[in-house]
Amino acid sequence: MTSLPPEKIRNVALVGHGASGKTTLAEALLHVAGVTARRGRVEDGTTVCDHDPIEHSRGGSVSMSLAPFMWKGHKVNLIDTPGEPDFVGEVHAALRVADLAVFVVSAVEGVQVGTEAVWRLAVEQGLPRMVFVNKLDRERADFERTLDQLRSRFGAGIAPLELPIGSEAAFRGVADLLSDVAWLYEDGVASKAEIPEDMEALEHQVHDNLVEGIVVADDALMERYLDGDVPAVEELERTLAIGVDEASVFPVICGSALKEVAIDRFADFLCEIGPSPLDRPPAEVTAADHTMTIPPDPSAPPLAVVFKTVADQFVGHVSLFKVLSGKVRTDDHLVNSRTGSDERLHGLFLLRGKEHEPLAEVMAGDLAAVAKLTGTATGDTLAPKGTPVRVPPLTPPEALHGVGIVARTQADDDKLGTALHRLVEEDPTVRIVRDDDTHQTVLYGVGDAHVAIAIERLATKFSVHVDTEELRVPYRETITQAAQAEGRHKKQSGGHGQFGVCNIRLAPTGRGEGFQFTDKIVGGAISRSYVPAVQKGVEEAMAAGGVFGFPVVDVAVELYDGKEHSVDSSEMAFKAAGRLAIRAGLADAGPVVLEPVDQVVVVVPNEIQGDVLGDLNARRGRVQSTQPAGPGEQAITALVPAAELVRYVIELRSLTGGRGRFTTRHDHYDLLPTHLVDKVRREVAADA
């Protein structure tokens, strides 16, 4: 595939709810463009984009995939994305480098929650949008109903460019609202025809509405139109393209990916009204404390950003990148702006699914791949030496659903650290945390499916097998009253014995004030050199667990007396005495269990706010506030025990039909209700 200038490039992300037909649409485009001899099927695992064995077994996409093709002198870099909400991190990365988001909507199911969620992302980024209404050949398909849903959810900018001819099994073509011409299809082959009589009146009405909506954006065109001069189709397309570029007009086209009805017209629209990299705002980069913009100028110095990393079983580490300016050529030397390391780009290639096609150079605005940049990760910027500019890193969606992971064998444990590092390189949405409080390695994902796929990838790609366990909650203990205790350690075993006695007072401190130790020894009852040993013994015993087995916090300990022996006393003996003293004192000081409490902000549609409030109350939550969060949404802020949030990602999704989202952060520790203490102790004992 030859290198093309930026104005001839279209970077298009296919997005939308799961099972709307994105991968089938990509397959149809590749087939119509002559890239593939026959169209693959998702059900058979034969599509170009779903090439991972995990995708074959699941029957759907779990990661983005590139599917470039040539169409009428343009290069279209198609990016197929997963529709399942757990893999929204892949959508974030795709939208970062796309110049147009095409929302694939099923005419059977209509506008679903996944479509709404990604639309919100596109709005935040000001990204141009287009809608492809798919599956018009299916039973119960309804274009008008789907169009009404699009308008009600996404506003007045929705502009249909086509109407379907026929419905369900009789769907056979589309009416072009710009040219007043029908296109009929048989076995994927188009023929031009007159608008059918039974829809002629409707088509003319919608055509007039569309033309009026387009010309209103151009004063000169509007004036001509009012004078009775109907603009040519090419003029309408140029004006429409401006509205698309500005993300104020969202064209709606229709067809059937499975039967390849109107797929060629879809490709035409991508090239005719879809924005090129030149039509988008220039990339923002930072240099030291300054921010500057970099237009996609092929004559400028080369600059590229890595938007995806893949572990390929044949070539190893593969970096997918977008050229922001200049030209990147094979064997170029560029510097990683994050690490400062020099990277030589051995062998550039075009990536189509899992197929590699060698490239000599990649022009500004284009997407490509390179292997074996071992020091470069997703989000890194590659720049010429002496030009330390960086593209601001992409913030992935927060991974809030975690499971503990344990290596299955010693051999797995030896490889686990490296495998987890490579897993995060491939998918930065995955988060790995070593929790020192619970002594767990925790793998966080966006949801349970995301976590399951990450664990499967550890096994299939990196040959590391792990078992999972429930997250442990980092409970604490403290005391509620003062107490005194003596720790006496005395042992005789032949030679020198061990002897140490310490007397301590302990009292509660304020919540969060931590451990305090005071030396109140007078008269030399204990040598000063033994006091640190007592403190160390006390601290070790508190960390090991108190009466209930949890680490002890917020306690003030005062060492006020003790005894030593001139021969048998030692630091070891007084350390042991300190441990004995604190254990005895804790039992008499009114021990209680503390639980972590998180601040949670839940954003939900207005109509299900009551259900979510009730659910939070059932989780022992204390609602602090509710306030508007956007059109038709409320943000609920509440304090909720962390133990009640372990599976909240999954449960909130079920409660709200996928329309709720939340963020959380640790806030404080609070008393665990007495009636739950025994239950917690049993759970902890079962996990031990």
The answer as to whether 204 is a domain residue is: no
Range with the lowest mean pLDDT among 126-140, 195-209, 606-620? Answer: 195-209
On the question of pLDDT at 89 being above 90, the answer is yes
Arithmetic mean of pLDDT, 214-227 = 86
Question: Which of 78, 148, 146, 153 has its CA nearest to residue 119?
Answer: 153
- Residue pLDDT, tens place only, 453-500: 999 999 999 999 999 999 999 999 999 999 999 999 999 776 678 999
β-strands 348-352, 355-359: how paired?
antiparallel
pLDDT digits (tens, 9 = 90+) for 236-284: 999 999 999 999 999 999 999 999 999 999 999 999 999 999 999 999 9
Asked if the model's pLDDT at residue 1 lies above 80, the reply is no
Q: At what angle do helices 113-125 and 88-97 cross, to 10 degrees?
A: 40
Confirm whether pTM is higher than 0.95. no
The CATH number given to whatever domain includes residue 651 is: 3.30.70.240
The reported pLDDT for the residue numbered 160 is 97
Residue 381 near residue 389 (C-beta atoms within 8 A): yes
> Of 544, 569, 589, which marks where a domain is finished?
589
Say whether both 20 and 117 belong to one domain.
yes
pLDDT above 80 (res 684): no
Q: What is the pLDDT of residue 226?
A: 86
Of the pLDDT bands very low, low, confident and very high (cuts 50, 70, 90), residue 345 is very high
Rounded to whole angstroms, the Cα distance separating 98 from 618 reads 43
Please answer whether residues 599 and 664 qualify as being in contact, where contact means their C-beta atoms are separated by less than 8 angstroms.
yes
> Measuring CA to CA, which residue among 77, 57, 75, 82 is closest to residue 66?
77
One domain for residues 423 and 328: no
Q: Average per-residue pLDDT in the chain?
A: 94
Domain end residue (candidates: 356, 383, 410):
383
| pLDDT score for 394 | 83
Which tokens is 19 given?
């099972």
- Banded pLDDT at 322 (limits 50, 70, 90): very high
User: Beta 9-15 vs 74-80: how paired, if at all?
Assistant: parallel
DSSP state of 171: -
In a domain, 344, yes or no: yes
Determine what percent of the chain is predicted with pLDDT higher than 90.
Answer: 87
Q: Based on the domain organization, do 489 and 345 belong to the same domain?
A: no
Q: CA 687 to CA 522: how far, in whole Å? A: 46
C-beta atoms surrounding 559 within 10 Å: 25
Per-residue pLDDT tens digits for 2-16 = 789 999 999 999 999
Q: In total, how many domains does the chain have?
A: 5
DSSP-derived secondary structure for 630-653: ETTEEEEEEEEEGGGGTTHHHHHH
Residue 604 lies in a domain: yes
CB atoms within 10 A of CB 646: 16
256 and 108, same structural domain? yes
- 354-371 pLDDT, tens digit per residue, is 999 999 999 999 999 999
Q: Are residues 505 and 572 in the same domain?
A: yes
**522 and 643 assigned to the same domain:** no
Residue 190: inside a domain: no
Helix (H) or strand (E) holding 664, with range, is: strand 661-671
Residue 392 lies in a domain: no
Phi first, then psi: what are they for 257, rounded to 5°? -70, -35
Neighbours of 130 (CB within 10 A): 23
SS3 state at 580: helix
Across residues 622-629, what is the average pLDDT? 96
Task: Give the pLDDT of residue 688.
Answer: 62
As a whole number of angstroms, the distance between CA 517 and CA 151 comes to 67
Residue 22 pLDDT greater than 90, yes or no = yes
Joined together, the tokens standing for residue 672 give 């665990």
Residues 306 and 354: beta-carbon distance below 8 Å:
no
Question: What is the phi/psi pair of residue 651, to 5°?
Answer: -75, -35
Q: What pLDDT score was predicted for residue 494?
A: 65
Rounded Cα gap, residues 65 and 49, in angstroms? 5
Dihedral (CA of 650, 651, 652, 656) sign: positive
Maximal CA-CA distance, the chain: 116
- For residue range 635-677, list pLDDT tens digits in order: 999 999 999 999 999 999 999 999 999 999 999 999 999 999 9
Strands 100-106 and 129-134: parallel
Question: What is the domain-level CATH number for residue 369?
Answer: 2.40.30.10
Question: Mean pLDDT across the stretch 327-340?
Answer: 95
* Helix 113-125 vs helix 143-154: crossing angle, to nearest 10: 40
pLDDT beyond 90 at 430: yes
Q: Same domain for 413 and 558?
A: no
45 within 8 A of 121, measured Cβ to Cβ? no
H or E element in which residue 22 lies = helix 22-32
H helices of 33-105, in order, are 53-58, 88-97
Give domain status of residue 319, yes or no.
yes
Strands 516-519 and 555-563: what pairing? parallel
Q: Which amino acid is at 117?
A: A
Question: Which is nearest to 503 in space by CA: 529, 482, 534, 477?
Answer: 534
258 exposure class (CB count in 10 Å sphere: 0-12, 13-18, 19+): middle
CATH code, 553 = 3.30.230.10
Residues 539-558: tens digit of each pLDDT: 999 999 999 999 999 999 99
Considering 469, 489, 506, which residue would you say is the last residue of a domain? 469
491: its two tokens: 């042992």
Instruction: Say yes or no: 264 and 127 in one domain.
Output: yes
Contact 285, 381 (CB under 8 A): yes
Pair type for strands 431-435 and 633-641: unpaired
Q: Are residues 124 and 268 in the same domain?
A: yes
Instruction: Please check whether residue 378 lies inside any domain of the structure.
Output: yes
Better pLDDT: 286 or 494: 286
Name the strands in the sheet holding 440-445, side by side, starting at the edge strand that comes first in the sequence: 431-435, 440-445, 401-407, 466-469
Listing from the earlier edge strand, what are the strands of the sheet with 316-325?
A: 342-344, 333-336, 381-383, 303-312, 316-325, 367-371, 348-352, 355-359
**548 and 632 share one domain:** no
462 touches 427 (CB < 8 A): no
How far from chain centre, in Å, is Cα 622?
A: 28
Query: What DSSP string runs through 252-319?
Result: EEE-BTTTTBSHHHHHHHHHHTSPPGGGSPPEEEEETTEEEEE---TTSPPEEEEEEEEEETTTEEEE
Based on the domain organization, do 379 and 405 belong to the same domain?
Answer: no
Task: Report the C-alpha gap between 516 and 513 in whole angstroms.
Answer: 8
Domain for residue 228, yes or no? no
Look up residue 636 and give its two tokens: 């609920």
Verify that 578 and 628 share a domain, yes or no: no
Q: Domain residues for 516?
A: 479-589
Q: What percent of the chain has pLDDT over 70?
A: 99
Contact 539, 577 (CB under 8 A): no
**pLDDT at position 80 over 70:** yes
pLDDT > 80? residue 572: yes
d(CA 226, CA 315) in angstroms, rounded, equals 62
Instruction: State the Cα–Cα distance between residues 450 and 219, nearest whole angstrom.
Output: 50
Euclidean distance between CA atoms 168 and 135, whole angstroms? 8
**Euclidean distance between CA atoms 73 and 630, whole angstroms:** 42
What would the 3-class secondary structure string for 283-297 be? Answer: EEEEECCEEEEECCC
pLDDT at 62 over 90: yes
Of 21, 424, 500, 519, nearest in space to 261 by CA: 21
Residues 393-423: pLDDT tens digits? Answer: 888 899 999 999 999 999 999 999 999 999 9
Q: Please tell me the distance from the alpha carbon of residue 621 to that of residue 640, in angstroms, as a whole number.
A: 4
Q: How confident is the model at residue 566 (pLDDT cuts 50, 70, 90)?
A: confident
